[in-house]
């Protein structure tokens, strides 16, 4: 074969001949051309790897002819012999070209405009054809252009009706909805999702719905708040699916599905979901469903955490870490819900004393295991070996044992979820032993806090708020306070406090500042014979603060924070020996002036409680002059 012939022939078959047949006016010639093309594609690797030839042949196929073949092959009343062959041939050609065409071509209308017909054919196409149709749709909707076309399809019933037996149908919807958000009107997309998920829930009734729960656990966290359907009617049905799995001795896939979805629902619908998942409804053996749900998650955490490090660089780690992170998130929500209910004058939820005792014991055991896991994971990452003492970490030649990909200990969502759950339990449960155990994590907490103040590009997670909650519980014990100070906790938190104070007033930052004071103030008051000399640096920096009144929308928390800072530096002065205090007389005067400005602002704002706090500061400072 000479050079010129090779450009138009593939293994003896003329591309021009196929093109001529495909461009003919009559459908019979086109069908022959399509059949010949299928044969060549099946048997010629040379053609499949020739991008120019593939593009030429694809553009020779009349789009309307493909649509007509699909419609003819899926008519309910079609009795024509070979009608399904027409469908099979059209689907084969589209499916094959989706795999061979360059990515830029997959975005064109000639490709993505085939989506409506492919969706419509699913209800009546043969079972053997369903799989390639769904595979083709997944490929097409993975691009925003294809996703937009699928979202615009008015009737998605063919996908929802087969979803319970064809999991790929859910993948089609998942990719379409997540990829269409940038190019689709959010209100329209939200309405489509709401209606379609409702149809899916109806389609899965009578099944274990594991694939549906798994699908929604991936979908909901990926949607923007504006796209999430508001207060959807299908959430109660999802809760029933979850509870049905909980009481059915769930397998690993079932546990992962209901755990991940529980966490996703609690995050997406923080008002509705807790009432449904944590309600007081009981199972046949008189155990509340919520108790069974959380207990299963706690058992999973205790059994899985000691083994998870072995999977760190395996393909199983992302899935296992996601499930365990979801379990921690759900447990955190449950503890919060339980505490709020107990504080409510009309509790909507209550456990029996026996169940409450068992749950408390299970939570404490799980959190003790969590402390061990965090210690081992951090040591392995930072020190290169499990349990290596901090003093041994100065060697520059230390080998780091961590994930080979970008998910390091400082950017692992599982670590964040574990710290959040542990933090809540440390603060709320008066467990002296657990707090002492957790005090051994002070070096890790301070390191994570510092890194969150100055995040690296590959470590976007902000650990500061949960760490502050954890430190509040840990420092309530003398050993915890001592460990906090030994690991430079005062320096790190006081520096952040000054940074917040000197930044433009911001309620979110101010709220973190209040939490910092909540940790540092008891430490100052408990220190004997008085505050350490280096702590007084905080006083001089506060005295140099230039007060800027907060904007109307930033009042409240900002002013509470500023008052809390005044209380902290006043405590430093109160605990300091009178002789030492004389060296800070100018700083004391500056603080008095600042407190006066804050009092005037509080009086103007009519905040009586804040006025009382600041006046107490002023009286104390005046008494020391």
Is residue 218 scored above 90 in pLDDT? Answer: yes
Is the model more confident about 527 or about 551?
A: 527
In this prediction, residue 13 carries a pLDDT of 59
**Among 63-72, 175-184, 547-556, the least confident range:** 547-556
What secondary structure letter does DSSP report for 285?
A: T
Which range of 20-24, 475-479, 605-609 scores highest in mean pLDDT? It is 475-479
Confidence of residue 76 (pLDDT cuts 50, 70, 90): low
In this prediction, residue 3 carries a pLDDT of 38
528 inside domain: yes
610 inside domain: yes
In this prediction, residue 381 carries a pLDDT of 85
Torsion, CA 99, CA 105, CA 106, CA 107, rounded to 10: 170
200-222 mean pLDDT: 97
In this prediction, residue 549 carries a pLDDT of 82
Is residue 527 scored above 90 in pLDDT? Answer: yes
Confidence of residue 39 (pLDDT cuts 50, 70, 90): confident
In this prediction, residue 283 carries a pLDDT of 62
User: In this structure, what are the phi and psi dihedrals at residue 206, rounded to the nearest 5 degrees?
Assistant: 90, 0
- Quick one: CA dihedral 98, 103, 104, 107, positive or negative? positive
In this prediction, residue 85 carries a pLDDT of 83
Is residue 225 scored above 60 in pLDDT? Answer: yes
The alpha-helical segments, DSSP class H, found in 269-412 are: 272-277, 289-308, 317-343, 353-382
485 inside domain: no
Distance from C-alpha of 257 to C-alpha of 201, rounded to nearest angstrom: 15
122 inside domain: no
Residue 595 near residue 566, CB atoms below 8 Å: yes
Residue with tokens 């508001």: 230
**What is the DSSP annotation of 67-98?**
HHHHHHHT-TT---TTHHHHHHHHHHHHHHHH
**Among 6-20, 39-53, 296-310, the least confident range:** 6-20
Token duo for residue 406: 């970008």
108 HSE (CA, 13 A, CB side): 13
- Write the CATH number for 547: 1.20.870
CB neighbours of 439 closer than 8 A, spacing ≥ 6? 474, 477, 479, 480, 482, 483, 484
Residue range 308-346, pLDDT digits in tens = 999 988 889 999 999 999 999 999 999 999 888 877 766
In this prediction, residue 615 carries a pLDDT of 96
- Quick one: CA dihedral 587, 590, 595, 596, positive or negative? positive
What is the domain count for the chain? 1
518 inside domain: yes
**Among 43-52, 57-66, 124-133, 480-489, the least confident range:** 43-52
pTM of this prediction?
Answer: 0.90
Distance from C-alpha of 469 to C-alpha of 508, rounded to nearest angstrom: 15
**Among 183-187, 206-210, 515-519, 566-570, the least confident range:** 183-187
**Among 234-243, 287-296, 478-487, the least confident range:** 287-296
Is the model more confident about 1 or about 86?
A: 86
24-49 mean pLDDT: 87
413-435 mean pLDDT: 96
In this prediction, residue 50 carries a pLDDT of 87
Output the CA–CA distances (angstroms, integers) from residue 55 to 27, 33, 41, 553, 583, in the order listed: 21, 16, 13, 59, 83
Residue range 375-420, pLDDT digits in tens = 999 998 886 544 444 455 444 334 445 655 556 888 999 999 999 9
User: In this structure, what are the phi and psi dihedrals at residue 10, rounded to the nearest 5 degrees?
Assistant: -120, 110
Confidence of residue 284 (pLDDT cuts 50, 70, 90): low
464 inside domain: no
112-138 mean pLDDT: 93
Which residue range is the domain that position 585 belongs to?
A: 490-625
| Share of residues in the chain with pLDDT > 90 (%) | 68
């Amino acid at each position: 074969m000479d050079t010129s012939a090779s450009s138009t022939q593939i293994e003896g078959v003329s591309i021009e001949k196929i093109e001529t047949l495909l461009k003919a006016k009559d459908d019979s010639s086109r069908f022959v051309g399509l059949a010949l093309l299928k044969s060549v594609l099946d048997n010629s690797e040379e053609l499949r790897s020739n991008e120019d030839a593939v593009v030429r042949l694809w553009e020779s196929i009349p789009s309307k002819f493909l649509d007509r073949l699909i419609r003819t092959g899926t008519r309910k009343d079609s009795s024509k012999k070979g009608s399904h062959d027409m469908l099979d041939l059209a689907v084969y050609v589209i499916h094959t070209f989706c795999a061979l065409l360059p990515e830029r071509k997959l975005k064109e209308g000639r490709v993505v405009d085939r989506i409506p017909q492919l969706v419509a054919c699913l209800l009546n196409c043969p079972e053997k054809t369903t799989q390639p149709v769904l595979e083709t749709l997944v490929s097409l909707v993975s691009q925003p252009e294809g996703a937009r076309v699928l979202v615009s399809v008015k009737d998605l019933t063919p996908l929802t009706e087969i979803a319970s037996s064809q999991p790929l149908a859910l993948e089609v919807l998942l990719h379409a909805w997540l990829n269409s958000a940038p190019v689709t009107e959010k209100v329209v997309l939200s309405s489509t999702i709401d209606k379609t998920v409702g149809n899916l829930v109806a389609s899965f009734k009578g099944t274990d719905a594991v694939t549906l729960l798994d699908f929604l656990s991936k979908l909901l966290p990926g949607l923007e708040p504006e796209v999430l359907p508001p207060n959807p009617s299908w959430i109660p049905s999802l809760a029933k699916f979850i509870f049905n799995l909980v009481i059915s001795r769930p397998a690993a896939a079932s546990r992962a599905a209901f755990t991940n979805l529980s966490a996703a629902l609690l995050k997406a619908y923080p008002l509705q979901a807790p009432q449904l998942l944590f309600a007081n409804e009981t199972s046949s053996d008189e155990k509340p469903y919520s108790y069974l749900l959380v207990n299963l998650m706690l058992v999973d955490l205790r059994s899985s955490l000691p083994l998870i490090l072995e999977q760190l660089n395996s393909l199983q780690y992302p899935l296992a870490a996601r499930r365990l992170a979801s379990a921690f998130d759900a447990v955190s929500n449950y503890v919060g819900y339980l505490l709020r209910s107990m504080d409510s004058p009309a509790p909507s939820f209550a456990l029996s004393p026996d169940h409450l005792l068992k749950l408390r014991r299970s939570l404490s055991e799980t959190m003790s295991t969590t402390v061990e896991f965090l210690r081992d994971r951090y040591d392995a990452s930072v020190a290169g070996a499990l349990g290596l003492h901090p003093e041994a970490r100065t060697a520059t030649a230390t080998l780091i044992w961590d994930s080979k990909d970008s998910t390091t200990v400082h950017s692992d969502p599982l670590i964040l979820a574990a710290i959040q759950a542990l933090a809540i339990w440390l603060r709320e449960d008066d467990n002296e032993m657990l707090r002492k155990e957790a005090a051994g994590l002070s070096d890790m907490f301070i390191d994570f806090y510092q890194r969150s103040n100055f995040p690296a590009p590959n470590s976007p997670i902000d650990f500061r708020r949960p760490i502050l909650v954890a430190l509040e519980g840990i420092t309530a014990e003398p050993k915890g306070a001592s460990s906090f100070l030994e690991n430079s906790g005062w320096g790190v938190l006081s520096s952040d406090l000054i940074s917040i104070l000197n930044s433009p007033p911001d309620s979110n930052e101010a709220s973190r500042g209040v939490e910092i004071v909540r940790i540092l103030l008891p430490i100052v008051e408990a220190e004997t014979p008085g505050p350490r000399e280096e702590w007084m640096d905080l006083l001089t920096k506060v005295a140099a603060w230039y007060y800027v009144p907060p904007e109307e929308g930033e009042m409240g928390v900002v002013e509470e924070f500023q008052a809390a800072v005044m209380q902290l530096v006043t405590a430093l002065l109160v605990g300091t020996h009178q002789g030492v205090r004389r060296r800070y007389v100018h700083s004391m005067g500056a603080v008095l002036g600042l407190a006066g400005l804050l009092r005037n602002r509080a009086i103007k704002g009519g905040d009586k409680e804040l006025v009382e706090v600041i006046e107490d500061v002023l009286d104390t400072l005046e008494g020391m002059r």
